[in-house]
Structure 1
Amino acid sequence: MSTTATSSWQAAVQQLLAVRRPQQAEQLVRRHLAQHPQDPFAHVLLALALLRQQRFDETKTAAKTALSLNPAESEAYYLLSLAQAQTGQPRAAEASIGRALQRNPLSSTYLGIRAWVLNLLGRPQEAQAAAEMGLRHDPAHAECLVQLAQALCKQEQWGALSTVLHRLVKAQPQLAVAHRLLGQEALRQEQFLAAQTHFGEALRLAPEDSESHQGLTRALRYSFGPGRAMRRIDRYLTFISEGTRQWKAKAWGHFLLILLPLSFFCIPLLLFMGFEALYWRLHPRVRQVRNRPAGTHSYLRETLYRYGAIASELLLILSLLPPVIWGVLWIGLPENSLGPGLTGGLTVLVMAMGGALKSAAKLPAPDKLPLGWLLTAGLMLTGSITACVLAEQWPWGPLAMLVGSSLLLAWRVRSTRQQVILNR
């Protein structure tokens, strides 16, 4: 094949990719590979076409084939890194983009992806350094600016973050993620009208951006009085739960000071939280914004998949309460002494449940519904209550349910931790 013909087919593939027609680009590359299966750059273009179609496993295969034919092909390492990061392999992605940088250390594109992977690994300081290095070579590079903003946000460097975001929007005014990041910063500063404007612009540029949809609904939610009150309560409870976990004296002081008073307001607080959640979901403006794109899963399915695992753990925790209460009464503790302890314990449990649900909301929704765990946990809760009620017929029932629920809870927590580690 002549050089002119070679350049022609490559240009055609790249043009198809540029106009977002990766399927046609893939067909053209495969026709070329049928005649020239040992062309490493053709495998690189195939990997790129497959990546654009989100066929990540096939992307990795094509990139590895290109590397087997030409180990010095830095672009193949770059595409392999992207596919690995998208399939929950950030450590492998870090190694792959590192090899690409060994062959081309001045590439802002590679440095931007390295910063992205480091942010995924929870190493924002290193991500910041990689992004800043990329910006020294290309001051307007979009990925480097985005990852620099993400790293600064993780480190809570708010002053520097504001400067970087305005620099990003000035350099890339048509980039949806730039306006989304501005919206998130406006939310943090409680500038809810500005946040709605930024998220609206992000959705204009990328109508199917789920994070911008969520940001816009939050901005609307906090624009209403009940939503603002709920936000303050949530921030205060987060301060206490996170502070006590980190052994901060101020947080522990607030926890001890409000524990007993809050116990008496536990049920009113839960009722207010339910009212606020229902109020903003049914508000006409919110209902209009929450009309999600076609093909999006229903809210019921998304809720079950996202919170199914944590809900099963919470049901198992609740199944421990009846036998514990039964045991306390069995050893002779008066029933009238359970009131303060029970209300205080329920308050702590509600705070823990809120923190767990909030953590689950920040994670990607799993692909599998833990229906078996939900049914098992529900049966354990039912059996626990039944065993305590019928303890006279079988006195070992509460103890058996306590042991069974404890073992299942330990098993469930262990499997959840393993899943989180695999996702990282």
Structure 2
Amino acid sequence: MHDIRFIRENPEAFDAGLARRGLEPQSAAILALDSQRRAVATRMQDAQSQRNDASKAIGAAMGRGDKDEAERLKAAVASLKDALPALEAEDRDLLARLTDMLARIPNLPACDVPDGPDEAHNVEVGSWGTRREFAFTPREHADLGPALGMDFETGAAISGARFTFLRGHMARLHRAIGQFMLDRNTDEAGYTECNPPVLVRDEAMYGTDKLPKFAEDSFRTTDGRWLIPTSEVSLTSSVMDQIIDAAALPLRMTALTLCFRSEAGAAGKDTRGFIRQHQFEKCELVSVVRPEESEAEHERMTETAEMILKLLELPYRKIVLCTGDMGFGARKTYDLEVWLPGQGAYREISSCSNCGDFQARRMNARYRPEGQKGTEFVHTLNGSGLAVGRTLVAVLENYQQEDGSVEVPQALLPYMGGLAVLRPQ
């Protein structure tokens, strides 16, 4: 959510930020509605003040014995009381319209985010690892997987497209990856393990900028709750409507949960394989920090995600997203893209974003700086540490052998009960 005071004081800067996102100027329309609402609020306050003054004057007139003046004042109070409900209703309507307008406008990009309309203008800022040289033509995971327990046909028969049934050692490897991530994020990176709900109310989705603009991207239950598209929603919402003790910051949380996405905007993309599923698991990272700490925290969070890839010895590159490719709530985003030899391409496996105070304003999450009476909005950050299914894909493609077997990465062996190789069945 944007600060209306910032827009009032800096309309040109606000529109310039939107222009970097490829959007038309909107400050004029926002300020016109804001001015209309403020005018109604002033009329409402004036009417309330006149009513209060007239009510006090009635007592004084009665004390003087001036019944005529008292009756005139009573009539004035009655008239004001009749007018106030309409003004209050108009004020609520205008505030709701202004809030909805602001809620549909994305966050402004940070100054150091590269400009560009689409992913072609993202900038690589680092890479790690050496791509493995194969003595054979590496296969894609969708070709390797079925013989190892990645059952696409049964998943589709049970639930439809973009669902997969994992069996046997494949299911165990998937579980091992998630547990490994969670252990590293807690034991080495200092995040607090959480087990949050995967069903949330509108307020949680709204606060984390998934509503109202992206309702079609998520699944809604018959009782009006939402299946989380990422545990960012649950974790970040844990500070909703709170004033956090400054000494408690930063808050760092991690969770391994099921996630659900309708993939409404992904028609025809990655329909084959395990890359883009309606149901998947992800190990999420969320930080809640003081404003002055958020840039450094963004680097720390991204390094935490990178640590997982390094320990699994999976080559990757680090990308800073341009203004046209960033998510709605982000002011700056790093993507980590893992190398998939079967596809001969880098594919996104983690996205780490600094949202500034954008989400905090929507969910009214604040802290009280030491030595101050007033409160300030916290900054929130979120990232994948990592997407479990995509990591499984990366392991299959990078550790495959010519006979169709897949070696288990060294870091995962303690989680596999002595199993070192997945073999075709």
Q: Which has the higher helix share?
A: 1
Structure of greater relative contact order (alpha carbons < 8 Å, 6+ residues apart): 2
* Bucket of the pairwise TM-score, normalised by the shorter protein: under 0.3
> TM-score when scaled to structure 2?
0.21
Q: Which has the higher strand share?
A: 2
